[in-house]
Amino acid sequence: MHRSRVVLVVVATLVSMGAGVAWGLVRPNAASSSNKRESEYGQVHLNDPTAAGGAGAVEGIKARWVQAENAKPGTSDWRVSNAGKDGDLDGFADKVSAQQGDTVRLFVSTKATGYHVEAYRIGYYGGLGARLVWKSVQLPGRVQQAATRDKQTNMVEAPWSPSLSVQLTSAFPPGVYLFKLVADSGVQHYVPLTIRDDRSTAAFVIQNSVTTWQAYNLWGGYDLYEGKNGSGGSDFEHRARVVSFDRPYAMGAGSGDFLGNEFPLISLAESLGLDVTYWTDVDLHERGQQLLTKHKALLTLGHDEYWSPEMRGAAEHARDQGVNLAFFGANAVFRKIRFQPSQMGGDRQEVDYKSAREDPMNGIDKQAVTVDWRLPPISQPESTLIGDFYDCNPVKADMIVGDPSGWVYAGTGLDKGDRLRNLIGPEYDRFDPSGPKNVQVLARSPVTCHGKASYSDMTYYTAPSGAGVWASGTNWWVSKLSEDCPTDASSTTTSSTTTTIPATPRTTKTTAICPKQPVIDMTENVLNLFGVGPAGRSQQSTGTNLKELNAGLPAASDNTGETTPTTRSRTRTRSSYTVPQYAPQETPSTEPSYSPPYTYSPSTEPPPRTTPTRPHSLIGG
């Protein structure tokens, strides 16, 4: 690369050498939850998801800078091919999010003699999923100090020295980044970072659920569900009551819960060129009250379970000001948390005792007590915000299409009673009367969880402000955006479509449909409606007659023994969309090849109005 052409400058400074049970009102027993990860995270293909692409966004919700960014050369080199063993290579950042102009410190521990760091912005990039933005010089490796554990709360932290600092110049446009640590030994590890833009007035805010990632982070042997019991095992009683961001993530090769539960929707949004900005739920806590009302919609992704009062207050305030809320997962807003500072900075420690009796704030400030939101002394069920209500896990079931005239089904070709294969699971939400009275049930899917018959519900309601609140009712919505189904060679299908967009042939309702394309279509319908302003202006919700809806439902699907779904295409009524004519090529991972810089300048003009996704031994996720 010619140095004279490098306009965007990045500085890297070497600083150092160096719930498994149905919900109930009683506290669950202290059984181990050690098997929960294999069930939940494995089924959302955590390790190697593909990028999801779409073509159905209306023009009023797009941004030129996102389209230009995704037209740049992408690469698949961002993927980890060798995560090594525990302790081979670990790292974390001193911030969960930052802005251009900030400096982020990385803390790295490795058994290798040396390593380097590659920064990838996550997006679509022609289906490759990321772009190499920056690469460090070669750095000396060192094994850092052992983890520390607070004996009262079992909080684990990594008391490490900083390894390098990265200055976030204009070379780092807003987005989600994975810093890939690459050791000389070939071992690789991620450090996630969200680069936000607090000036943004983008239509959509996409939120990374880092408080939930941290709640399930067993690095050092303790998370909010379990901890080492001294007998070679792990159980609920020895769980951490506080978890810290001052440590690496144990799952996802260091990426937390990003890959399976968030990456597919982000890649879809970027493939559509949507007017997006990014932040984490910690940012919702710290600045959501001031900033969320600048946007048209907040998008929370596959698993967004842990919410502070400030987070919930900001979302409720924004909804009451006309901001739409889309919950693409299930089990959201279930746990109530509070934050406290660490030596590294504010809001770096996440507190959740899961028991009013244990919480030292009980009897002092009941509003600060950390229990499930629906339990005393808080008694604020999540359904009053979301419209539906966490019920149980684990399940694996088909989603059943409700009224196909509903706006979410527009252009999909789906009929009432159609089954979308294995879209429900492992955790699910259902409609509950404790929520708003005008909740519309768009899909009601019978399930059986721990021997109990229930339903997973996709819901929608409109607030008096006109804001729309939509919830998928299932954890797996996001993961299905990029999950292909096996080809069924024995199926005979027909198609009358003439569009270039994949379409769906008709089949009988006894044959489950591969959910990927329908889920993409319905997601685009949510985005097209929510991106232009208060959804209730054009789509007011109407309360659902559940007795009438239930009468037409099939029995709960039992998908423990897998069969091959049909790969349908359908006659679609969407307007055509021309995919940008570019062909990103993979670039060698030696040094970023920068094209002439695109000046990032968020639009200040609002878009025109148009109509247009572990079985736990504990409650919840």
pLDDT band at 510 (very low <50, low <70, confident <90, very high): low
Least confident of 38-47, 432-441, 451-460, 562-571: 38-47
pLDDT for the residue numbered 57: 87
Return the pLDDT at 49: 86
Residue 595 clears pLDDT 60, i.e. is over it? no
Mean pLDDT over residues 411-417, rounded?
94
- The predicted-structure confidence for 222-261, as pLDDT tens digits, reads as follows 999 999 998 999 999 999 999 999 999 999 999 999 999 9
Q: What is the pLDDT of residue 265?
A: 98
User: Quick one: pLDDT at residue 601?
Assistant: 36
What's the sign of the alpha-carbon dihedral 445, 449, 451, 457? negative
User: pLDDT for 62-116, tens place per residue?
Assistant: 999 999 999 999 999 999 999 999 999 999 999 999 999 999 999 999 999 999 9
CA–CA separation, 465 and 501 (whole Å): 36
Alpha carbons 411 and 471: distance in angstroms, whole number: 20
Task: Note the pTM of the prediction, 2 decimals.
Answer: 0.84
Q: Higher model confidence: residue 318 or residue 27? A: 318
Tell me, rounded to whole angstroms, the distance of Cα 341 from its chain centroid: 25
In terms of Cα–Cα distance, which of 276, 308, 312 is closest to 202?
A: 276
pLDDT at 567: 45
DSSP letter at 274 equals B
pLDDT recorded at residue 96: 98
Higher pLDDT, 29 or 318: 318
Question: Above pLDDT 70, what percent of the chain?
Answer: 78
Which two three-digit tokens encode residue 408? 């979410």
Say what the pLDDT of residue 606 is. Answer: 37
Tokens of 298: 């907040």
Q: What is the residue-wise DSSP string for 331-370? A: STT-EE-EEEEETTEEEEEEE--S-TTT-TTTTT-GGG--
Q: What is the mean pLDDT of residues 19-27?
A: 31
CA angle at 264 for the pair 132 and 600, rounded to the nearest 5° = 45
Residue 12's pLDDT band, with cuts at 50, 70 and 90, is very low
Burial (0-12, 13-18, 19+ Cβ within 10 Å), 178: buried
If DSSP codes are grouped into helix, strand and coil, which group holds residue 253? helix
Q: Residue 610: its pLDDT value, please?
A: 35
Question: What confidence tens digit (pLDDT) does each residue in 267-324 have?
Answer: 999 999 999 999 999 999 999 999 999 999 999 999 999 999 999 999 999 999 999 9
What domains can be seen in the chain, in order of their start residue?
29-61+204-216+251-333+382-575 (3.40.50)
Task: For tokens 């409606």, name the residue.
Answer: 529
**pLDDT higher than threshold 80 for residue 3:** no
Mean pLDDT, residues 204-209 = 98
Among the listed residues 254, 260, 93, the one whose alpha carbon sits nearest the alpha carbon of residue 183: 254
Query: Is it the case that residue 428 has pLDDT exceeding 80?
Result: yes
- The CA–CA distances, whole Å, from 385 to 58, 182, 317, 318, 469 equal 28, 43, 11, 11, 8
pLDDT of residue 55: 84
Residue 500 pLDDT exceeds 60 = no
* Coil/strand/helix, residue 385: helix
pLDDT single digits (tens) 43-61: 344 567 889 998 888 888 9
**Is residue 507's pLDDT more than 60?**
no
* Residue 192 φ then ψ, to 5°: -80, 150
Q: Does pLDDT of 605 surpass 80?
A: no
Average pLDDT of span 34-49: 46
> What is the rounded CA–CA span in Å between residue 396 and residue 102?
44
Predicted pLDDT of residue 554: 79
Say which range, 408-422, 455-469, 607-621, has the weakest mean pLDDT.
Answer: 607-621
pLDDT of 18 above 50: no
Q: Does the pLDDT at position 34 exceed 60?
A: no
User: What is the residue type of 535?
Assistant: A
Rounded to the nearest integer, the mean pLDDT of the chain is 83
Q: Is the pLDDT of residue 424 over 80?
A: yes
3-state secondary structure of 263: helix
Note the pLDDT of residue 549. 81
